[in-house]
Each structure stands twice: as C-alpha cells, then as structure tokens.
Amino acid sequence: MIDYEEYSRALVDLETGEAIPINDNDIVSITSRKTTAYLNKTIEINKSKKFTKTMDLSFREIAQCNLTKSSYDVLMTMFSCLGWGKYSGFVIKLKNKQFNGFMSSKELQALTLCSDSAFKGAITQLRNEEIIKTIPAIDGRGNNFILNPFIATHDKRIPTKIFKLFENTKFNYTHESSSQLSSNELQARIREERRKTQEQIHEEMTGIEFIDSIDFGE
C-alpha cells in the first residue's frame, strides 16, 4: 500500500487516472501516445549487431542461392533504391532526394539493362529464394517490390507487417518471430525503448498509418 503523504509529487495517467508518486530527485521519462503506438506496431531487427555483421550473415546465405547474373544485377539495383521510414523495405524512386513513387517493373528493368526474359527470370528467382516479396501495386497496376529486411534495411525498427512477410525465411538469423511481440521479454524491451525514445517520431507514425493501409494478402 503506497503512503502518498510521503511524496510531494505524482504523475497522473490521463487514460487510466492512475497516480504514480515520485520523489523530487526522481528522473522521469514521459512517453507519448504516438511513441507507444509506434513501438507497439514495429519490431526491432539487427539488434546488437553492427551493419557489417548483418551484411556478412545475409550475403553468406545469398552466396548459397546460386543467383544468375541478372538476378544479382536486379538485386544490386534494388539495394540502391531501397526505401526508408514509412517506405521501409520498398523499392522506390527518388526525385530531388524525395520519395517519388514506387519502382515499377519497367523502371526497374530499365535500370538493370536486362532483357525481358532475363528480368522476369531474375524476379522469379529472387522471389523463390525469398530475397524479395511482391505485393499488388499500391498506386496503380502491377506489383511493388519489398526487399527482405534481414538482408538490408535503413531502419532499426520496421513495421511488424513487413517483419511478418520474412520472419520464416532462412535470412532471419535472429530467429525471432512476430509472436514474441506478446512475450514478457519483448514487453520489457518495449518499456526500455520507451524510456529512450524522444518526441521526434511524426514521420514514423505517418509511416505506420501508411503500412496499416496496405493489403499484404494475409
């Protein structure tokens, strides 16, 4: 039983009405609703691993796929056009260093200089090896391309829906699954992230709303 008379201040949760007593010398970290929603709808990958280490692990697996030259050409082009933030994982176009839509098959093929048959074969092989996924185009006809985040990503945290697309692939060296989102360990990690996260996630939250609107064919 808390004796509130021992405390001079308290924090009140506006949603639950719960009062949490604090001392004058306590360090208090306040997490906004946006931050909480962001953490609950994303999952951290490549945790505690340096970028070069993750590349070593993923490319070791890619080397076992015996990709054709065309598949390598397409994959390298995808790396150079990889989205970030709310477009995390998507192969995108840029104009004046800003998002300018999703890369279409024709645009991607033009960059690789592959013939029609070679390009189609490359996409098929990359998809069969689960290096990429394709989903119905968000802004038109055709497909959008998503690169496996366990191979390469700009972001430390990615939308859970993107994570789910690739969690069962051989590239998931973390062996984590989306089901762990409800585990005590992950909840503790979320609380720790909340403590660290600052009020600068407006773009990320916009991205989560964007991801939620996508039909991943589940």
**Burial class for 84, CB neighbours closer than 10 Å (0-12, 13-18, 19+):** middle
φ and ψ at residue 80, rounded to 5 degrees:
-75, -10
CATH hierarchy code of domain 45-177: 1.10.10.10
Q: Provide the pLDDT for residue 52.
A: 47
Residues in CB range of 63: below 8 A, 6 or more apart: none
Total Cβ atoms within 10 A of residue 29: 9
Q: Provide the pLDDT for residue 138.
A: 85
Residue from 150, 137, 151, 136 nearest 76 by CA: 151
Q: Provide the pLDDT for residue 153.
A: 85
With b meaning 16 or more CB within 10 Å and e meaning fewer, what string describes 167-180?
A: beeebbbbebeeeb
Q: Tens digit of pLDDT per residue, the chain (218 long)?
A: 455 455 456 655 555 656 666 665 555 555 556 666 666 677 777 665 555 455 677 888 898 899 999 999 999 999 999 998 888 899 999 998 889 999 999 999 999 999 999 999 999 999 999 999 999 988 878 899 999 988 888 888 888 888 889 989 988 877 767 665 545 555 666 566 555 554 455 555 566 677 777 777 65
Residue type, 18: E
For the chain, give every domain's residue range.
45-177
Give the Cα separation of 148 and 202 in Å (integer). Answer: 25
Residues in CB range of 3: below 8 A, 6 or more apart: none
**Burial class for 106, CB neighbours closer than 10 Å (0-12, 13-18, 19+):** exposed
Give the Cα separation of 191 and 176 in Å (integer). Answer: 18
* pTM (whole model) above 0.75: no
In sequence order, what are the beta bridge partners of 128? none
